[in-house]
Structure formats: C-alpha cells, structure tokens
Amino acid sequence: MHLLVEGIRHRVTGQVTVPNSKYHAHRALILASLAAGESRIHGLTDARHVAYTVRMLQGLGTSVVRAGDSLVVRGFGGRYRPRRTVLSVGSSGSTLYFMVGLASLADHAVSITGQKYFRRRPVGPLLRALRQLGVRVESVDDCPPVRVSPGRPTGGHVLLPGTLSQWVSGVLLLAPFATGPTVVEVAGELNERTYLELTVEMMRRFGLRVDVSPDWRRFDVPPGQSAHPAELTLPPDIGSAAYGIASAALHPCDVLLRGLTGPGGGPGDHPEHRFLDIARAMGVPMEPDEAAGGIRVRQDAPLLTAVDVDCRDIPDMLPVLATLGTFAHGASVFRNIAHTRLKESDRAAAMCQLNAMGGQVELAGDTLRVAGGQTLTGTALSTYNDHRVLMSLAVAASRAKGHSALTFPHAYRISYPGFLDAMNGLGIPMKVEEGRARPARSSVPPPVRRPLPPTAADPDEASRLSLPEWLDRHTEASPDRTAVVDVRPDGDLVVSRRELSRRVERTAALLLRLGVRPGEHVAYQLPNRLEFVVLSLAAWRIGAVCCPVIPFFRRRELGFVLRSARARVLVTMDEYRSRKPAREALALAAGRTDGLRHLVVVSRSGGPARLPSDPACDVTVHDWAAVPETTAHERAALAAVRPAPGATAQLLFTSGTTGEPKGVTHSSANLVRAASMEIRQLGLDATDTVWVPSPLAHQTGFLYGMVLATVLGVPQILQAEWDARRALASLDDHRATFTQAATPFLFDLVKAVEDTGRRPRDMRVFVATGATVPRPLAERAGRVLGARVCGAFGTTETCLGTLSAPTDPPERCWGTDGRALDGVRLRVTDETGRPLPAGTEGNFEVLSPTVFDGYLDRPDLTADAFTPDGWYRTGDLAVVDEDGFVRITGRVKDVINRGGEKIPVAEIEQLLSAHPAVEDIAVVAMPDARLGERACAFAVLKDGAGFGFAEMRRYLDEHQVAKQHWPERLEQLPELPRNPVGKVRKYALRARARTLKPHDEDPA
C-alpha cells in the first residue's frame, strides 16, 4: 500500500479549512484534567495525536466528552483514578512525554506503553529528570513501556538537556503538584523555545505559577498548587496550514487558507508562527482576505528565494521548508537541525530522498543545505511512517514529472487527517493504492565521490601492495596529513604520516636488533594506542608475523598464545587498568623455555616505563621509550627486506567449539583485499576518517580499523579505554565519518547521544558486527546517530563475507546482515550438505577470496572447517532471501558471543566441572540488550556441597580466566536436562536463561 501522487502542471485553485492547533489541544486537555471541576475547550481537532491524549486521560479516569464543537473535561484536582493498569499513548510523542510523569498522580501504579514501533522511542533523559523530581519510574531500556508508581513528586533541582522541549514541558506540567519547590534548569543547547513558551502560557491560563528566567533556561515552580478550570478556544494550526501554503507556493494558484486571520495570518502564541514569516521571506505571496476569513495565496508564476534559517525553534517545519527550498532560487541553508533528527524519524536524512527525485540536498553535521531551482522526477520514496515527511514529500511530488509512490500512506492522519482531502480539493491528485510499490530508495544521498588513493578500491590491485608500502605511498603524497589520533585522558596525540613512518622505521630496526626474522611471530598485548599501529607496521616491514593478544587476557590465555606462537618478542604495558601486564608476563616467562627472549614494556603514561625484574628469568626487559634512532647500517638492512604480499602477516587467536584458542593465519594480501572490498562496498573515500573503538587485537578493529585506514590513507582515531561520552567528543573533535564495531559500542554510543542530546556531526556509516545486533537497536541507532547503520557478517577466518550498503533500502540496510561482497559466494545447506533454496534456514557456508590460510599447527581443525568442495563452514544458521540478503538466525557452534568476544564454553565448563562441589555443569547464552549475549552457568552440586556465584567467581579468578569469560549468572538445578543418548539439551537451558538477568554488573 502506498500514496500515489501525480505531478501536475495546471493551476491550483480552491480553499483549505485550517484545522485547530494540536499543540494547544494537548496542553489544554491535560491541564483541564488536572483542574478541580469543569473546563471547556472550544474548537475540535481530529488529529490522531490529540485523540491519543484524550484516550490516555480517559484511561486515567478523567471525563472527556464532546458537546457540539467543544470538549468538556472534568478533572479531580490533580488526582487520577486509572481504569486500567496499562495505558497506551499510541504513536503520540507529545502524549508520551507529557503524561509519563503525570501518571504518578494516579492512585495506583500504571504502565505507559505505545504502538509496537513506538516502543523504541527513547525517553531516558526525561525519566532521569523525573527521578530527580522524586517520581518512581522504571524502564528496561529507557524506552516504553514505562512503569510509574503512585505518589506525588517531592520536588527538587532538575537538570535535563534542552534537546526536545517536550521533555522540559513534561517536567513543568508535573512540578506544580510536587510537595516541595522545584527548580528546572536546561543544560546544553535550548531548542524549541516557542513550544516552552506555549506550555508556560497555557499553565498560567489554568492558574498555575511558573517563574521563568529571561533566557528561558531556568524555571522555578512553587509546590502544592491547584489548577483552576478554564474555558478557551483553540487557534488555527499553522503546522497543518504549512502544507496548503507550500502547495500553493509551488504552482500557479488562487488558494484561500480559511481560518488564518489577524495581521500575521495566525496566532502569535502558536509555536510554529515563524513559518509564516519564512514563507513570506521566500516570496510566497500571502495576503489577508478578511471577507473570506483567511489568507490568500495568488500567483501566476511561482518564484521562490532561498533562505538561511536557524531551526532550533521550528524543528517540525524542516521537512516542508526543505521542499520549498528545492524549488527556490539559490541555496537554502537550514542550521541547528540535530534535534530534528530525534523526531518520529530522522527527518533531515529522510528529506535527502529529494536527491532520488533529482534534487540537491546535502546533510553535513548540524546543517541541511538545499540547492534550489531543481526539476524533479517522480519515484518511490520511504516516509518512515512520519506524518510530516509523508506530507512534505507528497507536496514536492506534486511538482515532479510523473508519479511518486510513498510508503506508509496513512501517516498523515496522525496530525492532519484532512490533508488528503485538502490536496485533492486544490486539484492535486493524491490517492492511496493497494499493492506493492517499487522498493524505496535510501534516505541517505549517494556519496559524493572524491579522489581515492590509486587502486584502494580495487581489491586485485590493492592486494599487490603490503601495508608498509601503502603507508609509504601515502606519506610520499601528503607527508603532513594526519595518520593516527591517539585519544588519551591527558590530551589527544596527533601523529602525521611522516612521523608515523619515522616511528615504524625505528621500531622495525629494534625488532631486527632483537633477532626477529621474516616469518617469525611478534607477540604484543596492547590496547588501542599508537604503539599498536607502529608495531604492526614495523613487523610487516621486516616480513614478521603480527600476533596481537587481547589486552584483558591474563596468564592462562597469554601463556597459551606464547607457547603456540613461540614468539621471540613480547611487547606489553607496564600498567593497564588495575593490572600490571609486564610484571605478569615476566612471572609467566620465569623458568620457561618456549622461545620468549625479550620483553618490551610500553609506559601507560607515555614516558619511561616501569620495568619489572626477576633474577630467575632469563628474559631481557627493554623500555619502549628508550629505543634509539635508526642507524645507517640498520636502514640498509631494512632496505634489503622486501616482504611478499602473499606471505603470512597475521596470527590471530580465536576461540571455537573446541574451547581451545585456534591460531588463524592470514597473508598481507588477504587483509588488504578484505579492506579494499569494504572500501568499495561502502563508497569510502579520501575524505573519510576512521574511528576505531573495537580492540585492535580483534579482527574487527585490526582489519576494518587499522588496515582499512592505512590502505585508504585516512586518519584513524584510537581510544584505549572505552568511555562513550569521551568517544562522542572525540568523534566530533576529529570529524570521524566511519566505524565498524560490535553491539556494545553501538548501544553505549546511542545512549550517550540520548543522554547528552549531542550527536556526532560527521558520522555517516556505522557497520555493526561482532555480535548479534538487535534490529530495534539498529533502527534506533540510525535515527539517533544520524548515520546509516549497516548490517554485516564475517569471521576471523573469512573476514567480512556479507555487508549492506548505505544506499540499500533502510529495512535491508540495518534489518539484515547484508549481502555477499564482490567475489564472495554464499549458500545454505542441509545436514547432508545439499544446497537449500532461497528463504530456507540451514547451515551457512561461505566461499571467499579472503579466507584464511589455516589454523596454526592444526591441519585437522583446518580440514574440519571446510566442506569437501572447499566452502568454509561458518557454524551459523542463516536464511538467504531471493535478493541475496542474509539473516543469521542462530549458531550451530556452542560459542557464546559476548559483545563480539567469543567465550570458550567448553573450556569454562571443563574448568568448573573440576571444582569439588560441582557434579555437573553446562554454560549457555543468556540474552542481553547491550552485549547481545552473556554466559549463564547451570550447575548440579554434589550432595551437601555449597557453591554460590561469589565462590564461582573466586575460583575462576584463581585460575587466571579472563573476566569477560566468566559466567554472569549461576543457577542451581537438581539435574541437567539430557536427551536419550546423554547429551545436555542446551536449547532447554537457553529457553530458561531468556528469563534471567546477570547477578551484577559486567565483570569487566
């Protein structure tokens, strides 16, 4: 079903009756419900948003009845008597924001919910503000449903962001009924002040006192107030009139907008009153027609002029203004639009769809630029179920060649049910049609192509160069351009390509001096710091193999890696978080003869390192900061080394179903090819900046952060210790545009934006990998971050196999795991290996040009990883649809994916089973909104034995198990469920774990 709009070339004539203001209606109804007695509100509105408020108030026990063209409201004097325990706001943001706090005035607890898609609406900042006011509200994910406990607020000092005025209005409407005084202060930028002015004015009309500072950033509200009944008439709604005005502005016309009266054509207290001034500035010929009772737009040849508008006070007008700007002479600039992107949809990105019709709209950070004078052609568009986007695109389509098909054709009913009749009444044909429209194009405009480094987006050509050769090429072209930004607590370290090359040469000489030779493994356990990048490039420079180790690995895991890799050199930190990795490594090396000869220590502070010592250990300890400059002899030795791209360049240990880490080997050519494939798929170019929050010791950060940035020749932003708010600041400080990271980083970043109201201004693509990404989170993230969230699938062994593109339809972009990259083949098979048809779930297998060379010293495991005809067995279950888009539906392998870190279940089970109190043990996945999964242990204890959660943690700590691998819930059972042949029925345990939560916070 879609809205079909036919482009026209004839004169538009007729009249539109402007409906009454929904903004006034919401506030008047709510305030009347709080008054003791009967209030009358004259002038009905049929906006569905207002109907939701009426139903909410009725559900709370308020009498709201129609009397002619008026509503009669009988309130209980600041008390509600709910008729139900669950109340819905439908899809009305105003109802949600205004009523969630006021529900605390009910005499028993209620839950506030909404329509299915509306349950993704973030309300975290408002809930925190209400808690400061003394309201008891609970929400699992800072979205509806919200449980509100009864009890008057206590008052207090409330600090909340000024991102959305409705958050502030929601607190102000409740504050007069608190038992103590309330001070509300706005933090950060104040948006939508005119809406706050309306809230305060309406409160005063009902006898409530609010004292406001001159800058409208502080509100003092006395306690214990009572609202008085009132009688008022709703003024005309300028927000609805805007679509009639815009339709008339784009065509030869004679249109009367009945109801807009007065000197300005509308009420001065309407929050969108300024739209009329902007329309006049653009050249819309609006004149009062007192005899007809409205304003008239009459013209023979439309001629609009571009404008420069600050949208902070008229955010809801951005869509229709973008439509007007498309047909204006010159370029219109709409500034301060960040908060417009937190509405029903990302309205700024949605209006970029004008580009699909032939427009020129550019979204850059906090600004939307619209080049005017365009000729549009009809096409299929998505409205994201946003009423204002639907109506604005429909108006634009009325001047396009041919017809346009718009999704969610009934969305206009939310705010302006008469829209379709009004447009057809003017002679603009619009109708809702059944059937399937053509697929909607992306709301993100096609990327502007900028000069790319030679061959960077050609996988075949790119893979002919090693990573150090890519660095040399970029350094020669632009030596002073930024290569790495190291975000540190004491200030960001910015390193140019020239300086990076110098450090790489010096470190490569150090490795030669320590005896490292081509093909040998260099182990290093470092967080996301400059030293990681330098050491990786230096190892490749001499043909050595990079063997990074996850920073949180402790002696148990580190010892396995060192034994397997037989590394001559280990580089680690003197301090990392609360640990001393260098001291731990030296203690591990004492008395061992597995090849380790040198320990290089990096200082956390950046100065001289704190070097550990152990007389019983024959490992030599070096200070990274004391590495000397390269000598002429060493330069000559380096010049003689020419590593081949096909040689092994990376050894990365990963856990699998065996529970034992496996060493995955990749050549330089494989890694560069994989990065180049993603560069081409996403349209990345030389103006991008790569943000790397994922650990560089993971394939995600290593390959799609460091390697990709090096091939592309763009800055990479590193952050050693994760902090979402610090990350948000660095994203803006260094103009980051792209990242690939796991679910927890996406979750935390979204929450930081919602908490602060500040979104990254340049971020445009976030590839979500490493753990199952909940589809609601992906959709919410795209809206909140203002970036396209792309689904993907990959493994350490294959690199990325599937990836969506920013230009894919939104529901495919974030709603799937992408489709095959160029050169990659996919299939789904049954248990016998027979390929299954599209749309059928089965074993997911990949044939890729970036598949690994094999597991280190484990030809048996390497052979098991592939089918007889050479396809890699991912161990996942998937469905591939007819268009090639993949959805991963489950995992065959028994591995828990905790935020991108795979927990070695078998190893943990074996270790716990050795505890004297444990008779039987099984560890399964427990769903988690932030990390995707956490581990839950089900234990059967021996008779009379005691083994609690704390004891389990102590036991794993004693055995030096990485904290991220610890189960975060322990459940005791009389026996484990097993099948007839004795295997544990883990699906039954997983079903039970779905109802559980972790015992406490992340062990990390």
Binding-site annotation, residues: 22, 27, 93, 121, 165-166, 316, 343, 347, 388
To 10 degrees, what angle do helices 165-174 and 193-205 make?
20
**Residue 660 vs residues 153, 324, 794, 907, 910: alpha-carbon distances, Å:** 55, 62, 20, 7, 11
Whether a cis peptide bond, with omega within 30° of 0, leads into 145 is: yes
Q: Are 887 and 699 in contact (CB under 8 A)?
A: no
Of 528, 531, 530, 565, residue with least CA distance to 550: 528
Of 193, 167, 205, 182, residue with least CA distance to 34: 205
Residues that constitute the known binding site for phosphoenolpyruvate = 22, 93, 121, 166, 347, 388
Tokens of 564: 């397997």
Tokens of 133: 């006011």
Task: Calculate the dihedral angle through the C-alpha atoms of 827, 833, 835, 841, rounding to the nearest 10 degrees.
Answer: -70
Which DSSP symbol is given to 629? P
Of 962, 956, 930, 952, residue with least CA distance to 999: 952
Tokens of 692: 């790397």
| CA 669 to the chain's CA centroid | 32
**Residue with token string 């920013």:** 806
In one letter, which amino acid is 281? Answer: A
**Residue 259 and residue 479: Cα distance in Å, rounded?**
65
Q: Are 679 and 707 in contact (CB under 8 A)?
A: no
Q: Are 99 and 53 in contact (CB under 8 A)?
A: yes
Neighbours of 644 (CB within 10 A): 12
For residue 755, is it left (φ>0), alpha (ψ between -120 and 50) or beta? alpha
**Residue 729 and residue 169: Cα distance in Å, rounded?**
28
Q: Are 318 and 348 in contact (CB under 8 A)?
A: yes
Residues that constitute the known binding site for 3-phosphoshikimate = 22, 27, 165-166, 316, 343
Q: Are 741 and 700 in contact (CB under 8 A)?
A: yes
Which DSSP symbol is given to 611? -
Of 249, 243, 261, residue with least CA distance to 298: 249
**Residue 236 and residue 45: Cα distance in Å, rounded?**
10
Tokens of 962: 């990485």
To 10 degrees, what angle do helices 743-756 and 775-785 make?
40
**Residue 321 vs residues 324, 393, 986, 1001: alpha-carbon distances, Å:** 5, 11, 56, 47
Kindly name the residue from 142, 237, 316, 817 that is annotated as catalytic.
Answer: 316
**Residue 203 and residue 209: Cα distance in Å, rounded?**
7
Q: Cβ contacts of residue 969 below 8 Å, gap of 6+?
A: 926, 934, 935, 936, 937, 949, 993, 996, 997, 998, 999
Is 107 an active-site residue? no
Tokens of 977: 């469920």
Phi first, then psi, for residue 71 (nearest 5°) are: -115, 130
Q: Are 304 and 329 in contact (CB under 8 A)?
A: yes
**Residue 11 and residue 326: Cα distance in Å, rounded?**
20
Q: What is the DSSP string of 80-133?
A: B--S-SEEE-TT-HHHHHHHHHHGGGBSS-EEEE--GGGGG---HHHHHHHHHT
Beta strand pairing status for 842-847 and 872-880? antiparallel
- Residues classed as catalytic: 316
